[in-house]
């Protein structure tokens, strides 16, 4: 079912995965695999942006208590990094194509 959008709450319920929050408490998150993939495809620059986007998308399908948002964010980021690591970003000279100025003669 990866890549599919659920048509309704019942379809989303069949796409539920467990997420372990800090402290060991487990919660069910609907559509988690698709959410992680969507955020990975965005190639966001820093952990705070990733956490914010993950939490925002999770809230579409699963209830997140306002007092638990920080715990959910930490657990979502941990799960994201386990599955996708840190996506390669073009942030430095490595990975760029050489320019004329960078060649030494």
Residue 92 domain-assigned (yes or no):
no
What percentage of the chain reaches a pLDDT higher than 70? 72
Three state DSSP letters for the chain: CCCCCCCCHHHHHCCEEEEECCCCCEEEEECHHHHHHHHHHHCCCCHHHHHHHHHHHHHHHCCCCHHHHHHHHHHHHHHHHHHHCCCCCCCCCCCCCCCHHHCCC
Q: Is residue 105, in this structure, part of any structural domain at all?
A: no
Position 1 in a domain: no
Within a domain: 32: yes
**Domain limits at 26?**
14-87
Q: What is the mean pLDDT of residues 69-94?
A: 79
Query: In terms of pLDDT, which residue wins out, 11 or 84?
Result: 84
Q: How many domains does the chain have?
A: 1
Asked if pLDDT for residue 71 goes beyond 50, the answer is yes
Tell me, yes or no, whether 100 lies in a domain.
no
98 in any annotated domain = no
Residue 8 lies in a domain: no
């Amino acid at each position: 079912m990866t890549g599919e959008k659920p048509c309704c709450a019942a379809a989303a319920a069949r796409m539920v995965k467990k997420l372990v929050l800090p402290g060991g408490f487990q919660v069910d998150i609907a559509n988690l695999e698709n959410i992680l993939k969507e955020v990975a495809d965005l190639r966001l620059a820093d952990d705070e942006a990733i956490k914010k986007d993950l939490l925002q998308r999770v809230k579409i399908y699963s209830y997140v208590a306002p007092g638990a948002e920080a715990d959910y964010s930490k657990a979502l980021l941990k799960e994201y990094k386990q599955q996708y690591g840190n996506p390669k970003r073009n942030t430095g000279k490595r990975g760029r194509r050489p320019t004329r100025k960078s060649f030494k003669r």
